[in-house]
């Protein structure tokens, strides 16, 4: 029997990946194994610009044609054949120019995955070089936009700690090649040494790490959560009010100025449904795997150590169903196209689920809550108020500034994390592991200074989680800040891949069994220790 490929060296505790064919063959010559994307990549990347230009031209032409005098139409009719030929000629010329540009652009597009970084070179007149260092990779996603799905193509998006301009998008590639490339990048980032193949040969195949699915959200629940969301109800009320206004006024003129708002609200609701459709979450040795999307499908792999903070939310209309939503802060995901609630779709760990499922999602990031009685702490954090389970809350004098929420607002510091509880109508629990605390700050407004109160802010990377404990006693908040800063400094020891793999092996089966046992129930705790 043939042994493992000698070019592959596994990380400590891992097994050597198999060898075989992989995405894009390296180019012959040179030291860097450069690879090519699919030839129609420039066309797929430019289609939005082309459609926008054509729409603008059509709009302008329609506006001008509508204002032409009647005698002009007689002249146009006489030269109709010539006009058709002219239009066809222009379209052919545009197609030729686009083809030449696409060919040149494709020849300039190349990428490489080395032991230190992922590199991408693009551009004809203005050349760009992007580099994503493997030790700063936060997540690797395989994305299939609608147009790419029609051709069986996908992109690989490498999210880095810097976010924005530091991220690298590779593609388009055939979907199996994109999945293989993702596996290779994740393996290299985890410490698996993959020696480059010989020039002109297929690169080594790195098999996908095994996974165990824990969460799956049916489409019906997504629809139900949207129907019970404040945004959808507001959208329905606005449309109904505008319809009544049109009937009373007998004209559409009063509502023309509100059309952008209507389209924005409708787009928000649709974007959330399409972005969260078919949501599934699984655990694997290389991290948390998320799959979702209706028109644009996305497969994410987020190393658990890259998650900076977690928030559990429950809207007022969700309480009867016992539903919760879980979102996270991940470095590199802060500035993206909004998916829902003005937030990136990538930051959702659970769109909607029972309390047990929400706590399972929390467990994926924080397996140890750091308390002796996690059930009591979670009960107080999610639904309680006052100082139950050791929560530090606002003093009674905060009632003047915060009459409805002052007993609900509070924080709890455990051995592993900072818990911030807030919200009366929309319950919210922010969880920040001590080692992920970026910085801390105290803030006081003029009224807070008068009442001796202060807000404690735990800064995180950009995202949906903004931990703030409002209206604490100023002196107590100052002591908490100093103590928490010390905890954060002593907890910087980063969890390595070996520990995450051990967590999956030891506790993953228990978590999966717990979720299965909680099916059909709306309460219960995940296997937090």
Euclidean distance between CA atoms 306 and 308, whole angstroms:
6
Is the distance from CB of 476 to CB of 392 less than 8 angstroms?
A: yes
In a domain, 511, yes or no: yes
In a domain, 371, yes or no: yes
* Total domain count, the chain: 2
In a domain, 248, yes or no: no
In a domain, 241, yes or no: no
Query: pLDDT tens across 449-475, in order?
Result: 999 999 999 999 888 999 999 999 999
Top pLDDT among 149 and 252 is at 149
Q: Residue 107: name the closest of 197, 23, 34 by CA.
A: 34
In a domain, 487, yes or no: yes
Please report the pLDDT score of residue 73 as a whole number.
Answer: 53
Helix axes 259-276, 230-249, angle to 10 degrees: 150
Sign of the alpha-carbon dihedral angle for 178, 180, 183, 189: negative
C-beta neighbour count of 181 within 10 angstroms: 27
Which residue, 147, 163, 194, sits at the end of a domain? Answer: 194
Please report the pLDDT score of residue 476 as a whole number.
Answer: 94
Q: How confident is the model at residue 258 (pLDDT cuts 50, 70, 90)?
A: confident
In a domain, 286, yes or no: no
Q: How confident is the model at residue 261 (pLDDT cuts 50, 70, 90)?
A: confident
In a domain, 285, yes or no: no
Kindly state whether residues 190 and 315 are assigned to the same domain. Answer: no
Which residue, 170, 194, 218, sits at the end of a domain? Answer: 194
Kindly state whether residues 178 and 311 are assigned to the same domain. Answer: no
- Which 3 state secondary structure label does DSSP give 203? coil
Q: What range does the domain containing 424 cover? A: 304-518
In a domain, 273, yes or no: no
Kindly state whether residues 365 and 484 are assigned to the same domain. Answer: yes
| CA–CA–CA angle 143, 144, 150 (5° rounding) | 170
Which residue, 144, 178, 194, sits at the end of a domain? Answer: 194
Domain CATH for 55: 2.30.29
Mean pLDDT across 68-75: 56
Kindly state whether residues 188 and 308 are assigned to the same domain. Answer: no
| CA–CA–CA angle 378, 383, 385 (5° rounding) | 100
Q: Residue 522: name the closest of 234, 314, 337, 236 by CA.
A: 314
Radius of gyration of the chain measured on its C-alpha atoms = 27
């Amino acid at each position: 029997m043939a042994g493992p490929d000698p070019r592959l060296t596994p990380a400590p505790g891992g097994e050597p990946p198999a060898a075989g064919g992989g995405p894009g063959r390296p180019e012959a010559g040179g030291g860097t194994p450069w690879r090519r994307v699919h030839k129609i990549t420039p066309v797929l990347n430019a289609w939005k610009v082309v459609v926008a230009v054509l729409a603008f031209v059509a709009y302008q032409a329609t506006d001008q044609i509508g204002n032409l005098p009647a005698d002009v139409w007689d002249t146009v009719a006489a030269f109709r054949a010539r006009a058709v030929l002219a239009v066809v000629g222009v379209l052919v010329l545009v197609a030729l120019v686009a083809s030449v540009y696409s060919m040149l652009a494709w020849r300039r597009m190349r990428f490489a995955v080395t032991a230190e970084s992922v590199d991408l070179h693009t551009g004809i007149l203005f050349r760009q070089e992007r580099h994503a260092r493997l030790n700063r990779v936060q997540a690797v996603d395989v994305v299939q936009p609608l147009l790419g799905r029609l051709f069986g193509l996908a992109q690989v998006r490498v999210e880095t700690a810097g976010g924005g301009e530091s991220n690298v998008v590779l593609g388009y590639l055939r979907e199996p090649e994109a999945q293989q490339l993702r596996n290779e990048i994740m393996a290299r980032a985890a410490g698996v040494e993959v020696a480059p193949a010989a020039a002109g040969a297929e690169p080594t195949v790195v098999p996908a790490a095994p996974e165990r699915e824990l969460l799956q959200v049916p489409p019906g629940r997504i629809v139900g959560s949207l129907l019970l969301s404040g945004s959808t109800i507001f959208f329905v009320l606005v449309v109904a009010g505008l319809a009544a206004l049109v009937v009373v006024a007998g004209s559409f003129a009063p509502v023309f100025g509100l059309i952008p708002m209507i389209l924005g609200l409708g787009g928000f609701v649709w974007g959330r449904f399409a972005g969260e459709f078919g949501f599934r979450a699984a655990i694997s040795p290389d991290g948390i795997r998320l799959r979702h999307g209706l028109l644009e499908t996305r497969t994410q792999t987020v190393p658990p150590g890259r998650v900076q903070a977690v928030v559990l939310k429950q809207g007022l209309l969700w309480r009867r169903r016992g539903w919760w939503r879980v979102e996270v802060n991940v470095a590199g995901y802060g500035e993206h196209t909004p998916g829902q609630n003005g937030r990136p779709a990538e930051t959702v760990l659970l769109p909607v689920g029972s309390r047990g499922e929400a706590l399972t999602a929390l467990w994926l990031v924080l397996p140890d809550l750091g308390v002796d009685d996690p059930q009591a702490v979670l009960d107080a954090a999610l639904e309680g108020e006052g100082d139950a389970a050791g929560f530090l809350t606002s003093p009674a004098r905060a009632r003047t500034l915060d009459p409805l929420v002052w007993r609900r607002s509070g924080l709890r510091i455990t051995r592993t994390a900072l818990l911030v509880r807030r919200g009366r109508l929309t319950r919210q629990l922010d969880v920040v592991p001590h080692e992920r605390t970026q910085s801390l700050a105290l803030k006081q407004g003029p009224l807070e200074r008068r009442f001796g109160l202060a807000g404690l802010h735990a800064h995180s990377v950009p995202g949906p989680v903004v931990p703030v404990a409002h209206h604490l006693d100023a002196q107590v908040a100052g002591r908490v800040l100093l103590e928490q800063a010390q905890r954060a400094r002593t907890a910087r020891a980063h969890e390595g891949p070996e520990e995450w793999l051990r967590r999956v092996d030891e506790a993953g089966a228990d978590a999966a069994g717990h979720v299965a046992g909680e099916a059909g129930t709306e309460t219960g705790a995940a296997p937090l220790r």
